[in-house]
Structure 1
Amino acid sequence: MATPAYLVYSSRRVAPLLLLGFASGLPLALTGGTLQAWATVELVDLQAIGFLTLVGSAYTLKFLWAPLVDRYAPPWLGRRRGWILATQLGLAAAIAAMGLFPPSSALLALSLLAVLVAFLSATQDIAFDAYRTEVLTPAERGAGAAVSVLGYRIAMLVSGGLALIIADAWIGWQAMYVVMGAAMAALAIATFFAPEPDTPAAAPRNLSEAIRGPMREFFSRKGAYVLLALIVLYKLGDAFAGALSTTFLIRGAGYSATEVGAVNKVMGLAATIVGALVGGSLLARLGLYRSLMVFGLAQAVSNLSYWLIAVTPKNLVLMASAIGFENLCGGMGTAAFVALMMGLCNARFTATQYALLSALSAVGRTYLAGPLAPPLVQAFGWPGFFLVTVVIALPGLWLLYLRREAIRELDRPITS
């Protein structure tokens, strides 16, 4: 009798990723939207609030110091967990310290602490992504990605939504940051109980190898440039469809902001999480290539949900069903896509290669979908635009087919 696919989530390697993913996601809003809300409430100048958005630059630039995480390790808990623990304890102290400096009277000190939090958080992400990649077996990568996404999204709700309620209605902004720092300290306990990889890889021999080695190793592979193009293109159709989804639902389809908030944001988030969990369990059965192809096709087809909303009269049930289906398919695709990036990493350079691949994966969303979606809407109208997004998804699937044999080979432990 076959083992139920969902049992992969009970693995000793997969289950701890829920809390580690939560720890990874907790600091993001505390230096982003939540910090901006605090500054707004304290009547900080609008231009100064605008500069606060630069605090998050560390997340974009983290690949620059990822080689240091590959080369060096603290003398405790192994090569990856040592970095995770060190950054978690640093984050606990820095987040709590932010509560000591109200933005109305100590904006510079608060901003510097926020920069430190973002840097430590980005470094934690580097180490966590590397740890997750190395500790999971090939069959567990999809489930590990899904559990990590679940923990990360819950943490963003806590630090981005619940934190505002706690600060505004209960204990105030300063105390809230202290509480969030204490929560981060408590999450460090999970790092002690997370297992080490069965066969830890050796670190690069020196810093020069840690910097040059990841690129040299990756480009020594046959079809390396095609794989990089696949990373950019695989979720591009999904990115185009989502780039203006809120604007479309309000301005194009005529739904109220309340309806969009309740359905597109809340239900959409829930559907994404369910999709990631379902995708993670199915990946263990289907294998990486078939999962990427099936989920990628589902992602492309699901963009027709927006087309259906655009060509039918306003109907809240239809809108909720369509948004739920699109986000469900997107979550499944995300689980397989993260598993792909894990599989492409060499164990000696996991931190650097994963940081570079994840940065590359954001290129389409940031530099293509955002700027190009508006002129496409103007040229084709909303219904035509969403049909075009289906076409945009096809080149990624074509590249996936071209590299099918190489991707099938990734259903094995990462190389060292």
Structure 2
Amino acid sequence: MEEKSRKNPSWAKAFSVYRHPRVLGMLFLGFSAGLPLLLVGGTFTAWLRDLGVSLAAIGFLSWVGMAHSLKILWAPVVDRMPLPFLTPLLGRRRSWMLLAQIFLLVSLLGMAFTDPREHLAWVALWAVLAGFASATQDIAIDAYRIEAAEKEFQGAMAASYVLGYRVALLAAGAGALHLAAGLSWSVAYGTMAFLMGVGILTTFIIQEPDVFVDEKTRRLEREVAVLENGNGEKKNFFKDMRLWFAGAIIGPFADFWQRFRFTGLVILLFIGLFRISDIFMGVMANPFYLDLGFTKTQIGNVAAAFGLAMTLTGAALGGVLVARFGIMRMLIATAVLAPLTNLTFSWLALLGPEMYGLVVAIMSDNISAGMAVAVFIAYLSSLTNTAYTATQYALFSSIMTLPGQFLAGFTGVLVEHISWFWFFISSALIGIPAIFLAILLARLANPDRIKQPGHGRKS
């Protein structure tokens, strides 16, 4: 009975995780991470089209958002390279956060004071800088989130992050559009640049996490260094760069393989498939509502505002349930919920433009999606070694989005050949493999049982 109580804490204790100072801090860091996303995405394209920029140019400029899918390429630099002046002052994670936030502030101000009709190339340059700075900030914040709190707080850390992130999306989406309509686009982007101060202030307030690197990881790095040093070559710049590359690039992948072996391949496959049904159907959600006969106002009120509230509810619930039942059981549950809730849209396709049907579909889908995001972030965090947090998490998050984003490009063609009803059935079916992989991982690589090296802080 005592063991059961230890494994499954009371509901009061489960909810108390949200009072942890670092869990509260993640709320503001999540806001800082979410704010730039639409400013180089949906809001950015709306601004360009509103000013008469051609659709072809807008299409090419949408590639700015690819920085988030490519961040694995420079994550090792963020993970291991100290910054002059900033790292000694703030520490490894906060220094990169602050640098990225400063670049975001400057680039958003650059966009605010540049007219795309006269200087489109400059606007594109500022947007590219903002995209890469945003992805870099994500790398540092993800690493901080994993290292700053113990494993039992990771679900709440993820939920708090999602809450701040979603509020930022509301500000950068609906908020920026209202400012642009009432005043100007310059005021809208200038205001968003000012809101980056939330992240900068939070970076100064929070404390740098102390990271424990276990002896097994240290031994692995020493072995890699010995291999690099085996030729007896004297110390020089190129040799130092090779040694850094071995620790920053080879080390994270060697560590992952050493800990999980062939189970690691199952884990990576699962990461790529877990969110695929949501990403696949998400691209066609708004066109579906319009085709069905809902007005833009109805879609905005229910799909955007009410949907946001349901997503936040799901994220908070996911954090509590992880603390109550553990990561793996909730991972299986959310893997099942994702395709099931997609079926509510098939029902809505048969029902037609009835508001109660839209409310039910949005409520079920967004609550399950919010839960899934919070649980999945906690799961990915549990897989990392804090010696390589930024690199390994960036790898996981890139794998998580790329398959769904690739397949989503074909959804328009699919809808043209089948009905909306069967489209959502198909989006549910492609989520089934993730359920079986989650059950398989419960036996092979349960993160609640595996001792993760490097998790914990120095005493």
Distance in 2, Cα, partners of 1:186 & 1:14: 16
Distance in 2, Cα, partners of 1:250 & 1:174: 30
Deviation by residue 1:333-362 (Cα, 9 ceiling, x = unmatched): 111111111111111111111111111111
Distance in 1, Cα, partners of 2:393 & 2:288: 34
Q: Which of 383-392 and 154-163 deviates more?
A: 383-392
Distance in 1, Cα, partners of 2:191 & 2:415: 46
On the 8 A contact 1:71/1:207 being kept in 2, the answer is no
On the 8 A contact 2:34/2:169 being kept in 1, the answer is yes
The residue type paired with residue 311 of structure 1 is: L
The residue type paired with residue 173 of structure 2 is: G
Q: Which residue of the partner structure matches residue 398 of structure 1?
A: 436
Q: Which residue of the partner structure matches residue 284 of structure 1?
A: 323
On the 8 A contact 1:288/1:407 being kept in 2, the answer is no
Distance in 1, Cα, partners of 2:435 & 2:63: 35
1:249 aligns with 2:320: no
1:50 aligns with 2:59: yes
Q: Which residue of the partner structure matches residue 324 of structure 1?
A: 363
Distance in 2, Cα, partners of 1:314 & 1:187: 41
**Offset at residue 373 of structure 1 (A):** 7.2
TM-score w.r.t. length of structure 2? 0.83
The residue type paired with residue 14 of structure 2 is: A
Q: Residues 279, 60 of structure 1: CA spacing in aligned structure 2 closer, same or farther, 3 A cutoff?
A: same
SS in structure 2 of the partner of residue 302 of structure 1: helix
How do 1:265-280 residues align onto structure 2 when only pairs under 5 Å count?
Answer: 265-280=304-319
**Offset at residue 19 of structure 1 (A):** 0.6
1:236 aligns with 2:276: yes
The residue type paired with residue 120 of structure 2 is: L
On the 8 A contact 2:211/2:387 being kept in 1, the answer is no
Q: Residues 161, 411 of structure 1: CA spacing in aligned structure 2 closer, same or farther, 3 A cutoff?
A: farther
**Offset at residue 307 of structure 1 (A):** 2.5
Distance in 2, Cα, partners of 1:196 & 1:132: 11
Q: Residues 382, 343 of structure 1: CA spacing in aligned structure 2 closer, same or farther, 3 A cutoff?
A: same
**Offset at residue 183 of structure 1 (A):** 2.2
Q: Residues 239, 78 of structure 1: CA spacing in aligned structure 2 closer, same or farther, 3 A cutoff?
A: same
The residue type paired with residue 35 of structure 1 is: F
1:104 to 103, 117, 128: 117
Q: Which residue of the partner structure matches residue 129 of structure 1?
A: 142
Larger Rg belongs to: 2
The residue type paired with residue 167 of structure 2 is: I
**Offset at residue 314 of structure 1 (A):** 4.2
Q: Which residue of the partner structure matches residue 226 of structure 2?
A: none
**Offset at residue 376 of structure 1 (A):** 7.1
Q: Which residue of the partner structure matches residue 199 of structure 1?
A: 211
Report the number of matched residues.
413
Q: Which residue of the partner structure matches residue 356 of structure 1?
A: 395
1:382 aligns with 2:382: no
SS in structure 2 of the partner of residue 28 of structure 1: helix
**Offset at residue 129 of structure 1 (A):** 0.9
**Offset at residue 206 of structure 1 (A):** 1.8
On the 8 A contact 1:31/1:114 being kept in 2, the answer is yes
Distance in 2, Cα, partners of 1:287 & 1:297: 16
The residue type paired with residue 274 of structure 1 is: T
SS in structure 1 of the partner of residue 35 of structure 2: helix
2:158 to 127, 137, 145: 145
Report sequence identity in percent: 37
1:83 aligns with 2:96: yes
Distance in 2, Cα, partners of 1:315 & 1:179: 38
Deviation by residue 1:108-159 (Cα, 9 ceiling, x = unmatched): 2222122111111111111111111111221111111111111112112212
RMSD (CA atoms) = 2.5
Deviation by residue 1:383-410 (Cα, 9 ceiling, x = unmatched): 3443343332221111111111454334
Distance in 1, Cα, partners of 2:192 & 2:412: 37
Moved over 6 A (4+): 202-205
Q: Which runs of 5+ in 1 are unaligned?
A: none
Distance in 2, Cα, partners of 1:38 & 1:389: 32
Distance in 1, Cα, partners of 2:251 & 2:358: 49
How do 1:205-216 residues align onto structure 2 when only pairs under 5 Å count?
Answer: 206-216=244-254
1:65 aligns with 2:81: no
